[in-house]
């Protein structure tokens, strides 16, 4: 793996300054080692203490401190009360943790003037996320994979997210960690079978491979990757949705497939993420001239409303 | 279910002449009953004896004969040596059977001057097909569902395929069959666990629903249906591919996502179906100016070749 140098990385010169997400777990420890080994010099590791696992969380923070010292790279440790955020914002713990992390990354990106962050997501993450979204019915937009390079606007900061391991399997990372004798922190929550992701990783995928009789992960990975490229392209075909309001008449002119994508993109830009198929379809029913629906519920007590041929969001 | 009258059916007046696929199995028996009940009068049932199950196949033919007589509708019984076709054409039995069936439908459509056929595919078929394609890695094109109304050109005959049950679940068809006390033929091959479709139906989906903890079929059905609508739309955006040759220079101009779709559509029109992601990606590598690949293998000993900036198929 140390010889793998994905093509797209050429765009990110080792002499520039970058953020690196560093939880202290196996994947991010391997990523940091690999970046240092690939001559990336000006790295700023970002570690967010989620305060979810008490002493273990504090030990994680001490661990990444040592690691950063050994590699002689910068480190910023932040802290968030994820449990409180989750209950305030009516999100799952996982979703609240993710949101807190990206906010932390965006703050640092601004403060440190480094707008690009490396994250350690790998090929198995792609497959697991695909299956989670499929089973939850996120619609085809939820099927598209994370991308090797993507842009995200968080709190008015434009962050570029780079994932060099997206085509690398967990077993390859294991090999790499073993070969270089890297130490890392085990996250006990990875064994919590109450989390769908863990059941998918440890029960469902092994069962499917046995019952289908082949390694299905490469097929799912490809499907997700193709879907991401198609989504990329479809989004370039969408009309401008930066306005706070959507025009009913303009939306009506689009084919069904584009109506869905336009609504999703518009919601995402209004910071309504993780909406399922139902919300999008309900917004679409507002487009009918004789529709009686004038309000659609969103998470966190927000609503999509229709009035005077405009669609907009109210708190 | 007898009261369900999908919107799109309005386009198919009950007074016109239609073909109906009638295997004698539960789904097609329910479909025929439902069509007759919905006042479709000029029906021509099509039954193909696949000669795969000896006496049971002959008994199926006698069964559909009786059924057609009872409903007073026309019936044409054809016959195909599917096993021989499969080995000649290097196809699976399932794929050869499907191909033989569509050829038979196309012949009848021409002979009977009825270019529209009703088929009994239902919502569970959509879900099972989605999972088969996902596990086999058919790429996102293979994820798109069958459509309620689709057109297919077979041996120079344009056939319109209508599937009124695509939004109806197997259990609803069961209820319908029970309510109307319909008799049907059991197909022993539905219990053959050597077939991936049967393992998906009888083992994998029940396991997933138990382990995920929810009914995942509606989510998968929606995903497949959205993908079908997106595919529909994407295909309208593709350049003309009716020529026997693809231009390397023209293809190169397209974004990756459209290159794939264009190659798939072109292959399908050249009657190369069921190609996986690998074939499409190999054809795509031919587009690189410095590509050394000038030949890609297809099923049935055919090849895609590149010569003088053209891509074409040779036998």
pLDDT per residue as tens digits for the range A176-232: 999 999 999 998 788 888 889 999 999 999 999 999 999 999 999 988 888 888 888
Cα A311 to Cα B18: distance, rounded to the nearest angstrom: 43
Distance between CA atoms of residues B46 and B55, nearest Å: 19
Q: Give the model's pLDDT for residue B121.
A: 96
Of how many residues is chain A composed?
A: 315
Is the CB of residue B140 less than 8 Å away from at least one CB of chain A? Answer: yes
Q: How far is A77 from chain B (nearest CA, A)?
A: 35
Q: A271 or A141: whose pLDDT is higher?
A: A271
> CB of B234 within 8 Å of any CB in chain A?
yes
**Which residues make Cβ contacts (< 8 Å) with residue B55, sequence separation at least 6?**
none
List per-residue pLDDT tens for chain B, 315 residues long. 545 566 778 889 999 999 999 999 999 999 999 999 999 989 999 999 998 888 888 899 999 999 999 999 999 999 999 999 999 887 888 889 999 999 999 999 999 999 999 999 999 999 999 999 899 876 555 666 788 899 888 888 999 999 999 999 999 999 999 999 999 999 878 888 888 999 999 999 999 999 999 999 999 998 888 888 888 888 888 887 677 889 999 999 998 888 988 888 888 778 776 677 788 888 999 998 888 888 898 877 889 999 888 999 988
Q: Does any CB of chain B come closer than 8 Å to the CB of residue A119? A: no
What would the mean pLDDT of A245-259 be, rounded to a whole number?
A: 90
Residue B238, classified by CB atoms within 10 Å of its CB into exposed (0-12), middle (13-18) or buried (19+), is: middle
- Per-residue confidence (pLDDT) for residue A293, from 0 to 100: 80
d(CA A123, CA A254): 35
Residue B272 has a pLDDT of 78
A234 in reach of chain B (CB within 8 A): yes
**Tokens representing B206?**
């029940």
**Is some CB atom of chain B closer than 8 A to the CB atom of A139?**
yes
Nearest residue of B to residue A140 by CA position?
Answer: B223
Q: What is the pLDDT of residues A277-306, one digit of tens each?
A: 788 888 999 998 888 888 898 877 889 999
Backbone angles phi and psi of B156, in degrees to 5: 65, 15
CB contact under 8 A, A140 and B232: no
B154 touching A (Cβ < 8 Å): no
Residue A24: pLDDT above 70?
yes
Contact (CB<8Å) A223/B260: no
Which of B215, B220, B256, B257 to substitute to test the interface with A, most A CBs within 10 Å? B257
Tell whether ipTM is more than 0.90: no
What separation in angstroms does the CA of B28 have from each of A271, B46, B47, B116? 47, 11, 10, 16
Q: What is the pLDDT of residue A2?
A: 47
Best CA proximity match to B306, nearest among B246, B266, B251, B257: B246
Residue A170 contacts residue A123 (beta carbons within 8 Å)? yes
C-beta of residue A104 within 8 angstroms of C-beta of residue A22: no
* Angstroms from B226 CA to nearest CA on chain A: 6
pTM: 0.89
Residue A265 Cα distances to A235, A238, A270, A271, angstroms:
8, 9, 9, 10
Does B212 sit within 8 Å of A137, measured CB to CB?
A: no
Q: Is the dihedral of CA B1, B4, B5, B6 positive or negative?
A: negative
How far lies B273's CA from each of A118, B132, B139, B259, in Å?
A: 40, 16, 13, 17
Report the C-alpha dihedral over residues A243, A249, A255, A261, rounded to 10 degrees. Answer: 20
As a whole-number percent, the residues of chain A with pLDDT over 90 amount to 55
Q: Are strands B157-162 and B149-154 parallel, antiparallel or unpaired?
A: antiparallel
Give B-chain residues touching A229 at CB under 8 angstroms: 255-257, 260
The residue behind tokens 């140390």 is A2
Tell me which of B196, B223, B232, B279 to substitute to probe the interface with A (most A C-beta atoms closer than 10 Å). Answer: B223
Distance from CA of B281 to the nearest CA of A (A): 11
Mean of pLDDT over chain A: 89
In the block, which residue shows the tokens 């040779």?
Answer: B314
Q: Is B230 on the interface with A (CB under 8 A)?
A: yes
What does the alpha-carbon distance between residue A126 and residue A222 come to, in Å, rounded to a whole number?
A: 10
The token pair at B181 is 């006390």
How close, in Å, is residue A124 to chain B by CA atoms?
A: 15
The closest alpha carbon to A17, from A38, A56, A45, belongs to: A45
Mean pLDDT calculated for residue range A11-27: 95
Residue contacts between A and B (CB atoms, under 8 Å): 116
A134: contact with B, CB 8 A cutoff: yes
Distance from CA of B181 to the nearest CA of A (A): 35
Asked if A282 and A298 touch (Cβ cutoff 8 Å), the reply is no
The answer to whether B20 and B43 have CB atoms below 8 angstroms apart is yes
């Amino acid at each position: 793996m140390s010889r793998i140098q994905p093509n797209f990385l050429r765009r990110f010169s080792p002499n520039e300054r970058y953020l690196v997400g560093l939880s202290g777990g196996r994947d991010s420890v391997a990523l940091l080692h690999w970046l240092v080994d690939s001559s990336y010099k000006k790295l700023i590791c970002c570690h967010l203490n989620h305060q979810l696992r008490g002493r273990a969380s504090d030990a994680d923070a001490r661990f990444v401190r040592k690691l950063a010292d050994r590699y002689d790279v910068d480190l910023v440790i932040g802290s968030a009360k994820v449990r409180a955020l989750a209950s305030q914002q009516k999100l799952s713990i996982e979703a609240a943790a993710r949101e807190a992390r990206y906010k932390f990354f965006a703050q640092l990106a601004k403060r440190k003037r480094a707008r690009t962050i490396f994250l350690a997501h790998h090929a198995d993450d792609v497959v697991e996320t695909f299956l989670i979204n499929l089973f939850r019915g996120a619609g085809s937009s939820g099927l598209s994979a994370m991308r090797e390079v993507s842009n995200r606007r968080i709190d008015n900061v434009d962050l570029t997210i780079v994932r060099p391991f997206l085509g690398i399997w967990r077993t390859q990372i294991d090999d790499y960690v073993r070969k270089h004798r890297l130490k890392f922190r085990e996250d006990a929550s990875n064994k919590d079978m109450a989390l769908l992701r863990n059941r998918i990783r440890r029960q469902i995928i092994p069962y499917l491979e046995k019952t289908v009789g082949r390694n299905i992960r490469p097929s799912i990975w490809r499907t997700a990757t193709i879907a991401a490229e198609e989504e990329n392209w479809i989004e370039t075909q969408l009309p401008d949705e930066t306005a706070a309001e959507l025009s009913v008449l303009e939306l009506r002119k689009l084919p069904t497939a584009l109506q869905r994508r336009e609504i999703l993109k518009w919601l995402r830009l209004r910071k309504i993420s993780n909406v399922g198929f139902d919300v999008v379809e309900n917004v679409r029913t507002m487009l009918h001239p004789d529709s009686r629906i004038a309000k659609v519920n969103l998470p966190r007590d927000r609503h999509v409303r229709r009035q005077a041929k405009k669609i907009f969001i109210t708190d």
